[in-house]
Structure 1
Amino acid sequence: MASSSSRRWATLICSIAFSIYFFIIIFQVPIFSVPCRFGICHTPLEVTSSQLIASEVFPLFIVKALLYPGALAKAICKLKTIQSYRNLLNLYQFNTRAVSAASDLQRLEVLAGSYLSVGGAITGLIKPGRMSLFGILLLMWGLIRESIMGKSGFAHAKGIHIYPAMYIALISAFFSIRKDVRKIIRTFTRKHVVKAKRYKSKVK
């Protein structure tokens, strides 16, 4: 009974956590600010998309398909006209200011973390795993390192910020891992049972 109960609780917690994480990543809630190849990026999806456009690895329609849910959500929240699919890239101003390729290489953690974060959100629709957590952790490490370098006077590392939503993404990514959540629930349940037994023995 306890095992099935812990399994149900773990499934519920993981589902809620992954839904929050998926919403943050796919609907492009700003979680940081960092100069990227085509301007200032605020989400892992923007960093990933800007790199995919520059490298021409995937056709533009795939990148647009990834960006469209976030563009739709932004238009609804700001009560603006929904951008057409054809002119979607203009909304993100990916063609305004180019950052050198060397600058991208100096932010490999941010780039790799963005790829993993987006990949974790997409593959998590089938089965949530550790990819999302690794991506967010790598992103945070890269942004913190870059922020420290910016304070030390490195020009390429200035203008980098971490928003509070980053910590929500981190927590939701962790609690979307079912095995870890089940271990936490089992540990908590065992401690609760031990305390209950001790209390009963004292009462007797």
Structure 2
Amino acid sequence: MASSRRCATLICSIAFSIYFFIIIFQVPIFSVPCRIGICKTPMEVTSSQLIASEVFPRSIVKILFYPGAAAKAICNQKTIPSYKNLLNIHQFNTRAVSAASDIQHLEVLAGSYLSVGGAITGLIKPGRMGLFGILLLMWGVIRESIMGTSGFAQAKGIHIYPAMYIVLISAFFSIRKDVRKLIRTFTRKHVVKVKRFKSKAK
């Protein structure tokens, strides 16, 4: 029992670390039209909408967005953006929003909110918020791609990157209860097989 708990804890910790890294450091997982042009991460969608709606102070949005912006600059061998000019560099201060560039489906926006929220709240206790967010996000992007209502689908293609499946798997395996159930199920099946094998050997 203790070994299964330790194993579940280890798996959940690794899975959540991967999930947190992809979300917070803004690894591209999809491509959709948004208020700043084309968004490729839940953090970009969330930040652009929070700035436009003015629900949270901009300082909080900048704190959330800065780690990913700095990581992108380092990976692209560019100058790390200053905290002061962060919103201007990434065009978050652009007020003009056209029908073609705005997000057409609430699934993408809601999924992005939940994904980012799951990464933040998961630092205290990982839960199902991130998993629900990724599932909702995938459904929204796939639906947008199939329907093509924004005109963006035909022009540049709305699609999902391979990292989306990685973050989906990591979000699932970060839920400790589900991981423990899986481990118990496989352990019981293994014990049953061993007992059957021993009985046949006798």
TM over 0.5: yes
Match of 1:54 in 2: 52
Cα pair 2:34 2:102 within 8 Å, conserved: yes
- 1:16-95 equivalence runs, <5 A: 16-95=14-93
Q: State TM-score, norm by structure 2.
A: 0.93
Cα pair 2:43 2:65 within 8 Å, conserved: yes
Q: Partners in 1 of 2:40 and 2:103 — Cα distance?
A: 18
Percent identity (aligned) = 85
Cα pair 1:33 1:160 within 8 Å, conserved: yes
1:110 to 108, 111, 122: 108
Q: Partners in 2 of 1:58 and 1:118 — Cα distance?
A: 14
1:155 to 151, 154, 157: 151
Superposed CA RMSD in Å reads 1.8
**Cα shift readout 1:95-135 (whole Å, capped 9, x = no counterpart):** 56843369756310000000000000000000000000000
1:128 to 126, 131, 138: 126
**Cα shift readout 1:16-51 (whole Å, capped 9, x = no counterpart):** 000000000000000011111221111000000000
**Cα shift readout 1:117-173 (whole Å, capped 9, x = no counterpart):** 0000000000000000000000000100000012xx752555311100000010000
Q: State TM-score, norm by structure 1.
A: 0.92
Count of aligned pairs between the two proteins: 200
Cα pair 2:100 2:150 within 8 Å, conserved: no
Corresponding residue SS for 1:106: coil
What amino acid maps onto 2:146 in structure 1? I
Match of 1:141 in 2: 139
Deviation at 1:195, TM superposition (A): 0.5
Cα pair 1:117 1:136 within 8 Å, conserved: yes
Q: Partners in 2 of 1:94 and 1:105 — Cα distance?
A: 15
Q: Partners in 2 of 1:115 and 1:157 — Cα distance?
A: 23
Q: Partners in 2 of 1:175 and 1:74 — Cα distance?
A: 26
Give ranges in structure 2 of 5+ residues lacking alignment: none
Give ranges in structure 1 of 5+ residues lacking alignment: none
What amino acid maps onto 1:24 in structure 2? I
Cα pair 1:39 1:97 within 8 Å, conserved: no
Corresponding residue SS for 2:79: coil
> Which runs of structure 1 show a deviation greater than 6 angstroms over 4 or more consecutive aligned residues?
none
Q: Partners in 2 of 1:66 and 1:176 — Cα distance?
A: 21
What amino acid maps onto 2:65 in structure 1? L
